[in-house]
Amino acid sequence: MRAAHRPLLTALAVAATAVAGTVTAAVDTTPAHAAGCTGYVGLTFDDGPSNAQTPALLNALRQNGLRATMFNEGRYAAAYPAQVRAEAAAGMWIGNHSYTHPHLTQQSQAQIDSEVSRTQQAIAAAGGGTPKLFRPPYGETNATLQAVEAKYGLTQIVWDVDSQDWNGASTDAIVQAVSRLANGQLILMHEWPANTLAAIPRIPQTLAGKGLCAGRISPQTGRAVAP
Ligand SMILES: [Zn+2]
pLDDT tens per residue, range 96-117: 999 999 999 999 999 999 999 9
Distance 2 CA to ligand 1 centre (A): 6
Q: Using CB atoms within 10 A of its CB, is residue 178 exposed (0-12), middle (13-18) or buried (19+)?
A: buried
Distance 75 CA to ligand 1 centre (A): 12
Distance 24 CA to ligand 1 centre (A): 32
pLDDT band at 3 (very low <50, low <70, confident <90, very high): very low
Domain presence at residue 9: no
C-alpha to C-alpha distances, 160 to 129, 151, 178, 180, 205, nearest whole angstrom? 26, 25, 11, 10, 20
C-alpha to C-alpha distances, 6 to 137, 138, 161, nearest whole angstrom? 9, 5, 12
Question: Per-residue pLDDT averaged across 127-154, rounded?
Answer: 98
Other C-beta atoms within 10 Å of 5: how many?
Answer: 23
Around ion ligand 1, residues with a beta carbon closer than 5 Å are: 46-47, 137
Examine the pLDDT at 7 and tell me if it is beyond 90.
no
Examine the pLDDT at 219 and tell me if it is beyond 70.
yes
Position 127, amino acid: G
Q: Which one is catalytic: 28, 46, 47, 165? A: 46
Q: How many structural domains compose the chain?
A: 1
d(CA 99, CA 75): 5
Domain presence at residue 24: no
Q: Which SS3 state, helix, strand or coil, does residue 44 take?
A: strand
Examine the pLDDT at 222 and tell me if it is beyond 80.
yes
d(CA 198, CA 184): 24
Residue 211 sits in a domain whose CATH number is 3.20.20.370
Which one, of 23, 26, 55, 51, lies nearest residue 39 by Cα? 23
Distance 92 CA to ligand 1 centre (A): 18
Domain presence at residue 198: yes
Q: Would you state the pLDDT for residue 34?
A: 55
Which residue range(s) make up the domain with 95?
35-225
Q: Let me know if 190 is a catalytic residue.
A: yes
| Single pTM value for the model | 0.86
Q: What is the pLDDT of residues 28-53, one digit of tens each?
A: 444 444 568 999 999 999 999 999 99
Domain presence at residue 122: yes
Q: What is the pLDDT of residues 145-194, one digit of tens each?
A: 999 999 999 999 999 999 999 999 999 999 999 999 999 999 999 999 99
